Structure 1
Amino acid sequence: MFRVKTSICAAALAAVSFGAQAAAPGSIELPGDRAFPESITASRDGTLYVSNLEGGGILRIRPQGKPEAWLAPGAAGTRSTLGVLVDESRQLLWVCSNDMTIIGIASPGTQKGSFLKGFDLASGKEKVSASFPAPTPPAGGSVCNDIAIDGSGAVYVTDTLAPQILKLSADQKTLGVWKTDPLFAPKNGGGLDGLVFDASGNLIVNKIGSGELLRVDVKNGAPGTVTELKTSRPLDQPDALRLGADGSLLLVEGGGSLDKLVISGDTAKVETIKDGFTVPTGVVQVGKGYWISEGQNGYLLDPALKGQAPKLPFRLHYVPAAK
């Protein structure tokens, strides 16, 4: 998740085996004073993978293990790393890589533009690298933000700076525009962010700046009408949509909460599971609980905080599901 302040997946894993991490403490400390976790995902055995908005690279945390560098900052041409998603069927970790200097965030490496990359889970070697096509004006660039996978295995990504959702080609070499719509246009400092296919096969996507929640009707893999869903309360910087084990949707709000969404028709009931986080940026359900990445992205993006030291250490938080 990121939001540019104007003043300056069946998409993801629904639930994975938690294993021994079920007895872990309520949080995990991330190494470094510039960790800025942007997204989190997990494999079936409960291994966590965490991206880094500023420093780049990917951390891996095995059950009962400590955070370790899995993908080095700048490796395989990566820059700032945003959305991450484990793809069990292909044994890949999908990663959004971006040159974030376009919005004033330094990152390792020199590769320009935005990319969707796939890395082998066993070896960490790059297997896929697809660049974003040039956005249609007036968009000033692209940002690969988050990733979803449909029931057929096709891979989709959101573009936060341009009003478009892209789809990876069958040969995994190129990204093309799958859907564009006026409702996707960035507002209040941010555009499309999290996305996930719901139990009916439609795509749900949120907008980080304006708090909107949208549904893209999908039939035989083709996009149809885009509808704004009416939420039971306003969403504050919604992010990181994931499918929960019970078929509901999970998201975090940059304002500080982990939520459950229950969609019925064109409405969405928002139920807060836990609040009090400092700019949470990602969520993944692992067994009977949820891991949350606490990004503190205001220290990179908010003019009032930029340049100040974040609160250390950076952490992941575990939230048990309600009984």
Structure 2
Amino acid sequence: MSALTTFRRPTLPLFSLALLGLLATSCKEDSNVTPDAPDTITFTQSALYPEGVQYDATNNRFLVSSQTRGTVGQVKDDGTYSAFAEDAQLVSTIGMHVDDARNRVLVAVSDPGYNTARTTEATRRKLAAVAIFNRDTGQRIAYVNLGALRPNAAGHFANDIAVDGQGNAYVTDSFAPIIYKIDAQGTPTVFLENAQLGAPAGSFGLNGIVYHPDGYLLVAKSDEGALFKVPLNNPASFAKVTTSVNLRGADGLLLYNNTTLQAVANNQSTVYRLTSSDNWTSTTSTGTFTTPAVYPTTLARRGSDTYVLYSHLNALQANQQPPVSDFTIQEVDF
């Protein structure tokens, strides 16, 4: 071959170039696809015993409470657990509410006696408070002592939280017949107090609570298996929602839309789908989801999906040894 001989690169056919372009475009598009949310998320934290769960869509994580630790945790889809907020005043964390409009997380704080490092005679079964954290940083914004409004009550247990459109928070007390209100400036008051909302000593009364945009609260009462409607403009006119559904053990609530409420009955291992056609004067069940015997407690909304927390609080109450290590956030399928 002479020194003047030259080599030419082979030319790709036009259809090959087009195919390569399509493949490159497809790969670029696939890289931007958000993976489907998992049906089941299991995380490992020995003896954590979470009761509350919320989904923080901004930060793509679930938040979980703990009856045994002074912390609020965060759980990723792959089951990775880490601390979201830790504070010396957190004894046991119970129900939670992610208030996206105000970039905050509200956490009910109580003392059932299971956090051996922090429970005291002064607070055991007598603590009702709410801690408020920045949703993005986990820094504490406020701590509100609700039990101090009724210091002579036989007991206190802040359980669950709802927030209305103006930023007012409403908190149930399971050991006193009280719903508290914390206004947007952090000032607490007794919103509703009535003996009809009480429970026998040692029993859980008021529990899950949600705000309905038509101007009222829907509140579960565990010992009675009842649901109450409480108007914001006249709470004393509260009324029991008529239903034939057995809601005994009612725990967390989730208002899926204006006419559909989802409710966990922990001791029934059941999530109920309730609907109403008369503005929650009455309700009927239009579906159920049965869980294993894992003491389901609360619900979280993620897009159009609902997830329920398998708390295993029955094992904690029975002092099971070794303690439960694996906890589950499970999608609900009615």
Relative to total residues, which structure has the larger helix share, 1 or 2?
2
Equivalents in 2 of 1:312, 1:62: separation in Å?
Answer: 17
| Residues 23/89 of structure 1: CA separation in 2 closer, same or farther (3 Å cut) | closer
Which among 264, 273, 283 is matched to residue 288 of structure 2?
273
Whether contact under 8 Å (2:172, 2:179) holds in the other structure is: yes
- 2:100 aligned with 1:88: yes
Which region of structure 1 is more displaced relative to structure 2, 229-238 or 34-43? 229-238
Question: In structure 1, what is the equivalent of residue 118 of structure 2?
Answer: 109
1:178 to 182, 191, 200: 191
1:226 paired to 2:238? yes
Deviations 1:253-281 (A, max 9, x none): 10111221213442111233311232101
Partner of 1:15: none
Q: CA RMSD in A?
A: 2.4
* CA drift at 1:193: 0.4
Q: Would the alpha carbon gap of residues 263 and 107 (structure 1) be closer, same or farther in structure 2, given more than 3 Å must change? A: farther
Question: How big is the shift at 1:128?
Answer: 1.0
- In 1, Cα distance between equivalents of 2:110 and 2:218: 23
The answer as to 2:169 corresponding to 1:155 is yes
The amino acid of 2:188's aligned partner reads: L
What amino acid is the match of 1:306?
Answer: N
Secondary structure of the structure 1 residue equivalent to 2:315: helix
Which of 274, 288, 297 is matched with 2:313 structurally? Answer: 297
Q: What residue number does 1:60 align with? A: 74
The one-character-per-residue Cα deviations of 1:44-101 (angstroms, maximum 9, x if unpaired) are 34421111122331111245562222123xx241111001110111111111112222
Q: Hey, what's the Cα distance between the residues in 2 that align with 1:27 and 1:117?
A: 29
1:258 maps to a residue whose letter is: V
One-letter amino acid matched to 1:290: T
CA shift digits 1:171-192 (9 cap, x unpaired)? 21x4210011222111481110
CA distance in 2, matches of 1:49, 1:82: 11
Contact 2:129 / 2:147 at 8 angstroms: preserved in 1? no
Is the Cα–Cα contact under 8 Å of residues 135 and 162 in structure 1 kept in the other structure?
no
Pick 1 or 2: higher relative contact order, CA cutoff 8 A, min separation 6. 1
- Counterpart residue identity of residue 109, structure 1: R
**Conserved? CA contact 2:259–2:276, under 8 Å:** no
Q: Residue 3 of structure 1 corresponds to which residue in structure 2?
A: none
Give the SS at the match of 1:183. Answer: helix
Contact 1:79 1:107 in 2 (8 A): no
**For residue 21 of structure 2, what is the aligned residue in structure 1?**
none
Secondary structure in 2 matching 1:203: strand
SS at structure 2 position matched to 1:89: helix
Query: Is the partner of 2:237 in helix, strand or coil?
Result: strand
Query: What 5-or-longer segments of structure 1 have no aligned partner?
Result: 1-18
Q: Compare CA radii of gyration and give the structure with the larger one.
A: 2
Matched to 1:250, the amino acid is: Q
The aligned length equals 291
Distance 1:140 1:276, change over 3 A: same
Q: Percent identity?
A: 25
Equivalent of 2:180 in 159, 166, 182: 166
Length-normalised TM-score, structure 2: 0.79
Correspondence 1:121 to 2:121: no
SS at match of 1:270: strand
**In structure 1, the residue corresponding to 2:196 is in which secondary structure?**
helix
Residue 18 of structure 2 corresponds to which residue in structure 1? none
Per-residue deviation, residues 108-165 of structure 1 (Å, max 9, x unmatched): 4367433101011122110011001346587422111000011222111001100000
Asked if the contact 1:214/1:229 (under 8 Å) is kept, the reply is yes
SS at match of 2:238: strand
**Alpha-carbon deviation of 1:107?**
4.4
Q: Give me the whole-angstrom Cα distance separating, in 2, the residues matched to 1:144 and 1:298.
A: 19
Aligned partner of 2:253 in structure 1 is 241
AA at the equivalent of 1:293: L
Distance 1:20 1:108 in 2: 41
Tell me the amino acid that sits aligned with residue 168 of structure 2. A
Q: Is the 8 A contact 1:145 1:160 kept in 2?
A: yes
CA contact (8 A) 2:44 2:79 kept: no
SS in 2 for 1:100: coil
Q: What amino acid maps onto 2:189 in structure 1? A: G
Q: 1:311 to 1:300 in 2, by over 3 A?
A: closer
SS across alignment from 2:316: helix
Gaps of 5+ in 2: 1-32
Residue type matched to 2:289 in 1? K
